[in-house]
Structure 1
Amino acid sequence: MTTLRRYLPILDWGRTYDKNAFSNDMIAAVIVTIMLIPQSLAYALLAGLPPEAGIYASIAPIILYAIFGTSRALAVGPVAVVSLLTASAIGQVAEQGTAGYAVAALTLAFLSGGFLLLLGVFRLGFLANFLSHPVIAGFITASGILIATSQLKHVLGVSADGHTLPQMLASIGSQLDQINWITVGIGITATVFLFWVRKNLKPLLKRTGLSPLMSDILTKAGPVAAVVATTVAVWALDLSNKGVKIVGDVPQSLPPLTMPSMSPDLISTLLVPAILISIIGFVESISVAQTLAAKRRQRIDPDQELIGLGAANLGAAFTGGFPVTGGFSRSVVNFDAGAETPAAGAYTAMGLAIAALFLTPLVYFLPTATLAATIIVAVLSLVDLSILKKTWGYSKADFAAVAATILLTLVLGVEVGVASGVIISLFLHLYHTSRPHVAEVGLVPGTQHFRNILRHDVKTDSTLVTLRVDQSLFFVNARFLEDLIQNRVTDGCDIKNVVLMFSAVNEVDYSALESLEAINLRLKDLGVGLHLSEVKGPVMDRLKRSHFLDELNGRVFLSQFEAWRNLTNSRNIENAAE
C-alpha cells in the first residue's frame, strides 16, 4: 500500500479530505479558472495553434497531475516559455494552421510526457540539478523578451514572422506601412489596462472596503474584463470588417480523443526538442512547487513530480493539447487563493470543461491583439536583466554563462538557447570540479587547528608543506592536484615532507588513485615524503584495497596536528604549544 501511495499521492491526501478543504479548493479553482480562460487561449496563440487547443491542454493534464503529482498548489497547463519552445520546434516540420502542425504538437507532448515518465520511474530527477539556476534565469529572461517581441505583430495588426530577435524586428520593420491603427489602439489599451490592474487594482479595491478575497478575485479577473470589453467593442463597432483580426469560430466541445503521430521521421526530428522542453518545464515546475511547499512545510518528491508532469503531457497528447508544465503565475494565484490539495486543479479542469462547452461562442469577436496583450503582460514579469548585475558582482564565470545564454537565445533562437544553457551548465560544473580548492595550511598558534596561510597568521615550517584538499578526487580533477604538487615541490627546495590533508575528501576514484601513485613516485625520486592525514573511513577502506598504502613513502596520520608534531623540528613544536 505504501508503494501504491508513492505512485498515487491522491491516496495519501485523499484520505483526510474534508468539507473545509473542499471549500478552500473550490474558491481557489474559481479564481484560477477565471485567470486561466484568457491565458489558455493566449498561449495556444503563442504556440501557433487554434485557441481551443489551449483549453484542451488545461483539462486532462490538470486532472492527471492531481492524481499523480505531489504538490498541493502547483497549477499545470500551458505556459509561455514552453509554448514558445513548442512553436519553435514544430514550426520546423509543419506549416502553421495545417493538420500536420497540430499532429506535430500532439507528438511533441507525447514525447515530452514519455521522457518525463521514464525519468520519474527510474528516479532520475537529480539530473535537473545539473542546470545552473543563473543559466536558467538567463534563458527565461531571453525567452520573455522573444515572446513579448513575437506578439508585437498582433498588437500592430501586421503579418510578421521569425524565431530570433533580429528576424522578428526586421520582419516587423518591413511591415510598418501596413499597420492597422484600430488594432494598435485595442492592443495598447488592453496592455496598459492589464499592467494597471496588476499593480493598482487590488489596493484600490481594498481601500473601498472590499474583502481581501473579493479584491483578489476581481484583480485576477482583470484579463477577463479586458477580453469582454474588447470583444464587445469589436462586435458593436463591426471592427472585424475594418481589419481587426479576431479569434473566430471556436468549437463547442470537450477535448477530443486524438492520436500523436508514430512516424519515425517526425519522432526523430522532435525528440531533441521534446527533451529540452521537458527539462526546462520540469526545472520551472519543480522550482515553483518546492517554493510554495516550503511555505506550508510540505514535501515535494521530484521523482514523483516527473511522473505527474509526464502523465499530464501524455494526457495533453491524447486530448488535442500541446506540451504543458507547472505555471509560476497561476500556481502562486492557486496558493494565495487557499488551495489545500491537488483537487483544486481538478475543479479548475471542470470549470474549463464548462467553458469549452458553453462559453466558446462568446469569444468569436475576441481580437487577437487582446490575447497578445495578455501574453506580453504575463511574460514581461519573467524578464530579469538584474541577473546580469548580480552575477557580475558575485561570479564572473556565472556572468559569462548567463550573458552567453541570453545572447544566444535572442540571436539564434530558443532551441539553440536552451541547448547552450544545458551545455554551459555542464561546462561550469566540470570547470569548477576540475579545479578543486586546495589550500596550503599552517598551524594556528596555541591551538591544534590548521588554516589557510593566505588568510590567517599561522605557523609554517620551510621543510613541510600541508595541502588541504577541499573536494573529492576523481578523474576530472585528479591531474590538477598532481600538477599543483609538481609546481610546489621542485628540485633543490627545502621541502622534505608533503602532507595531503583529506578531511574534506569523500571519495577517491581509480583515476585519482593513479594520480596519487604518480605523486608518490615523483616525490620519492626527489627524496620528499608523501603523507596523508585525517582520511575518512570509507576512503581509507578503498585505499586499503589497493597497493598504494604499501608503496607510500610516508605515513597516514590520524590528525593533522599529529603529522605536524612528527614532521617538524622540536623548536616549532615548542612554539606551537605556547
Structure 2
Amino acid sequence: MQKPLAGLSRRNVFRELTAGVTLLAIAIPLNIGYAQIAGLPPTAGLYALIVPTIVYALLVSSRQLIVSPDAAAAALVASSIGGLATAGSADYSTLALAQAIICGILFVLMAVFKLGFIANFLSKPILVGFVGGLALDILVSQIAKMLGVKIDSGGEFTDKVVGLVTGLGTLNPWSALIAALSVAVLVVGQRFLRRVPWALIVLVVATVAVVLTGLVDAGVDVLGEVPAGPPTLTWPVIDWSMWLMLVPSAIALTMVTTAEGLLVSRAYGDKRDYSTRPNRDLFAFGAANIAAGASGSFAMGSSTSRTAAMDQAGSRTQLPSLVLAVGTLLLLLFGTALLADIPSPAIGAIVGVAILPLLGIGDFRMLWRADRFEFAIAAACFLVTLFIGSIAGIVVAFVLALVNLAKRAANPPIDVLAAGDSPAESLLGEAAIGTVTAPGVVVVRLAAPLFFANGSVFADAVKKAAKAEPEGSVRHVVIDMEAVTDVDVTGAESFATLVEWLEARGIELGFSRVRSDARARLTELGLLGEHRVFDTNRAAITALAGAPQTQRDS
C-alpha cells in the first residue's frame, strides 16, 4: 500500500513547503469567493481547507491532485439547495452539510464497488456544456458584485440577467473601479508572472485601499466579520425526506467530480511517471466529503487550476495541502480580523477571472470544427443547465451520453475486404491477402461487437455487398471476425435472419479469424454451426475461389 506523502524526501521538502505557501495564497481568497457563490458564510470555504484537506491528502493515491470546493461545485450547491432553503440561513447551511455527506457516501460506494467507470459517460462535450452553463450563471452574479449592483444571486439565470440590467442605474463607481483594476492586475499578472500569488496581492491592496480611503462609507461592500476559531465537529439533523431530496444533486456533484478528478489524477500521474489508483482516489474523495459535512463545510471536488499551479511550482507530493491546512487554521485562530474589510468587488473579480476558462469558448470552437453532433450535445447541456437548472443539466447530460453511444454503436465500421472478381484489398493492412482474384467471394469485416444496436445494420451491409455484384455471381460470403469480441442474443437473431437470406439465394457463409475468446459465445448462440472457419482471409479466399489452398481450415 502506498504510504502517505509518497515522493517526499529531504531533497524536495523545502520546495514542497514553499509550494504550500503559494497554495495558501491562492486558496484562501478563492474559497471565500466560492463559499459566497454557494450561498454560505466565508468560514465554510475556509473550513474546507482544514480537516477535509488533511483527510484527503493522507488517503489519496495521487501525489498532486488538490481537493477543494470549486466554482462548478459551488454553483451546483447553490442551485440545488436554493429551492429548499434561503441562502445564508441556518437551514441552508445544514442542507449543505448533509449534501456533502451524501456525496461522501456515494464516493465510498463507488470505490467499494469499483464503479469509477460510470464517470466515463461524462464525455468532454458533456462536461464542456454542463460546466460552461454553470460558469456563465456564476459570472453574472460576480459581475453584479463587481459593479455593486444588488441582485438575487440564488435566482434563475434569466432573473439574474434582468436584475443586473435593470440595476445598472444603481452601479457604484468605486466598486466598478476596484473591480476593473483587480481584473487588470489578475489578467496581466497571470499572463507574464504566473507563479506570483496575484489573487492574494489584489485582496491585500484592495483591502488596504478601502480602509485608508473610507470607501465603505461610499457604498463599497466588504466581506464583514468572519467568526474566529477552528472548525467544530457537527452532524446535520434533518428529516429523511430532506435527505432524499438532496440525493439527485449529490449524484450530480459526485459524477462531475469523479469525471474531472480521475482524469486529472491520471494525467498528472502519467506526466510525472507515478501510478495512481482510481478506486482509492474515489475513497479519498468520499472521506474528504464526509469530513467536510461533519466540520461545517460543503461538497468537495478536485481543483484543476490549483493542481496545475502546484505542478508549475515544482510540487510532487501532497505536503502543500498539509501546509495549506495548517496555514488556514492559524488564520482562523489569529487573523480573521484581517478578512473583515476585504471588498466584495475584489472577491468578485478574483472569482470571475478564475471561472472564465470554465466557459469553454475554445472547447466549443474546437467541437464545432471537429464534430457538429458533439457540438450539439455540448450546446444542449449548456442551455439546459443555464435555463432549467443543474440537476436537469446532469440528467440531460447522461441521456445525451447514451444517445451518442447508441449512435456510434449503431454505425460501426463495416469494410468489404474482397468482392466478386475484384482484387482483394485489406483495409486492415493484412499483408497475407496481398492481391488475390476472388471470383464469387465477398469478404466483409465488422469492426465492433455484434449486439442489439448494430445487428440489423450489419446484416443490411452484408446484403448490400452481395447485391452489388452481378446477380448469381456471389457464391460465398466470409465474415472477418477478428474485431468481433462479443455477440448478444439480439445480434445473434439478426445474424440468423441474414443466414436465411443468404441460403435462400444459394450463398454459402463462412468465417475467418474468429477470436478464441469469442468462439465459445458464437458456438453457444449457434452462429458457427456447420459453416467453415478459416485462419485468415487469404485462406478463405483461395479455398472458396477454387485456387490452391495455402492455409488449412481451422
How far the C-alpha of 1:414 sits from its partner, in A, is 3.0
1:281-360 aligned at under 5 Å gives the runs: 281-360=257-336
2:381 corresponds, among 405, 416, 428, to 405
The C-alpha deviation readout for 1:118-137, integer Å capped at 9, x for no partner, is 10111111111122123212
Instruction: Write the distance in 2 (CA, Å) between the matches of 1:229 and 1:150.
Output: 23
Q: Aligned letter for 2:29?
A: P
Contact 1:444 1:450 in 2 (8 A): no
Say whether 1:224 aligns with 2:208: no
Q: Which residue of 2 aligns with 1:500?
A: 479
Instruction: Write the distance in 1 (CA, Å) between the matches of 2:395 and 2:131.
Output: 13
The C-alpha deviation readout for 1:152-181, integer Å capped at 9, x for no partner, is 111121221365543321121121222222
1:459-498 aligned at under 5 Å gives the runs: 461=438, 463-489=440-466, 493-498=472-477
Structure 1: runs of 5 or more not aligned: 203-215
How far the C-alpha of 1:418 sits from its partner, in A, is 2.9
How far the C-alpha of 1:90 sits from its partner, in A, is 0.8
Q: Aligned letter for 2:450?
A: L
Contact 2:417 2:427 in 1 (8 A): yes
Classify 1:461/1:388 alpha carbon distance in 2 versus 1 (closer, same or farther; 3 Å): farther
Q: Aligned letter for 1:363?
A: L
The C-alpha deviation readout for 1:18-54, integer Å capped at 9, x for no partner, is 3334323211111101111111111111111101110
Q: Which residue of 2 aligns with 1:544?
A: 523
Q: Aligned letter for 2:541?
A: W
Q: TM-score with structure 2 length normalisation?
A: 0.92
Say whether 1:186 aligns with 2:178: yes
How far the C-alpha of 1:86 sits from its partner, in A, is 0.9
Classify 1:445/1:67 alpha carbon distance in 2 versus 1 (closer, same or farther; 3 Å): farther
The C-alpha deviation readout for 1:75-119, integer Å capped at 9, x for no partner, is 111111111111111111111111011011101111111111110
Classify 1:477/1:266 alpha carbon distance in 2 versus 1 (closer, same or farther; 3 Å): same
Aligned residues: 544
Say whether 1:174 aligns with 2:166: yes
Instruction: Write the distance in 2 (CA, Å) between the matches of 1:250 and 1:522.
Output: 78
Contact 2:420 2:439 in 1 (8 A): no
Q: Which residue of 1 aligns with 2:56?
A: 65
Classify 1:325/1:49 alpha carbon distance in 2 versus 1 (closer, same or farther; 3 Å): same
Q: Secondary structure of 2:359's match?
A: coil
1:514 corresponds, among 487, 493, 496, to 493
How far the C-alpha of 1:10 sits from its partner, in A, is 3.2
Contact 1:56 1:319 in 2 (8 A): yes
Q: Secondary structure of 1:299's match?
A: coil
Instruction: Write the distance in 1 (CA, Å) between the matches of 2:232 and 2:188.
Output: 38
Say whether 1:386 aligns with 2:362: yes
Q: Percent identity over the alignment?
A: 28
Q: Secondary structure of 2:85's match?
A: coil
2:230 corresponds, among 243, 254, 272, to 254
Q: Which residue of 1 aligns with 2:73?
A: 82
Contact 2:199 2:350 in 1 (8 A): yes
More deviation in 327-336 or 51-60?
327-336
How far the C-alpha of 1:446 sits from its partner, in A, is 13
Instruction: Write the distance in 2 (CA, Å) between the matches of 1:250 and 1:445.
Output: 84
Instruction: Write the distance in 2 (CA, Å) between the matches of 1:167 and 1:482.
Output: 53
1:39 corresponds, among 9, 30, 33, to 30
Q: TM-score with structure 1 length normalisation?
A: 0.88
Q: Which residue of 1 aligns with 2:125?
A: 134
The C-alpha deviation readout for 1:427-465, integer Å capped at 9, x for no partner, is 211211122211111289999862389xx9976656322
Classify 1:236/1:66 alpha carbon distance in 2 versus 1 (closer, same or farther; 3 Å): same
How far the C-alpha of 1:352 sits from its partner, in A, is 0.9
1:435-474 aligned at under 5 Å gives the runs: 435-442=411-418, 450-451=426-427, 461=438, 463-474=440-451
Q: Secondary structure of 1:507's match?
A: coil
More deviation in 313-322 or 433-442?
433-442
1:395-434 aligned at under 5 Å gives the runs: 395-434=371-410
1:556 corresponds, among 533, 536, 539, to 533
Q: Secondary structure of 2:358's match?
A: coil
Contact 1:472 1:506 in 2 (8 A): yes
Q: Which residue of 1 aligns with 2:3?
A: 10
Classify 1:251/1:481 alpha carbon distance in 2 versus 1 (closer, same or farther; 3 Å): same
Classify 1:481/1:335 alpha carbon distance in 2 versus 1 (closer, same or farther; 3 Å): same
Instruction: Write the distance in 2 (CA, Å) between the matches of 1:460 and 1:303.
Output: 54
Instruction: Write the distance in 2 (CA, Å) between the matches of 1:503 and 1:373.
Output: 57
Q: Aligned letter for 1:250?
A: V
Classify 1:246/1:460 alpha carbon distance in 2 versus 1 (closer, same or farther; 3 Å): farther
Pairwise CA RMSD of aligned residues?
Answer: 2.7
The C-alpha deviation readout for 1:181-233, integer Å capped at 9, x for no partner, is 2222222222222212212345xxxxxxxxxxxxx3xx12x211211222222
The C-alpha deviation readout for 1:388-415, integer Å capped at 9, x for no partner, is 3322332232222122222333333333
How far the C-alpha of 1:323 sits from its partner, in A, is 0.6
More deviation in 150-159 or 515-524?
515-524
Classify 1:541/1:52 alpha carbon distance in 2 versus 1 (closer, same or farther; 3 Å): same
Q: Secondary structure of 2:427's match?
A: strand
How far the C-alpha of 1:309 sits from its partner, in A, is 0.8
Instruction: Write the distance in 2 (CA, Å) between the matches of 1:164 and 1:563.
Output: 65
Classify 1:452/1:285 alpha carbon distance in 2 versus 1 (closer, same or farther; 3 Å): closer
Q: Which residue of 1 aligns with 2:504?
A: 525
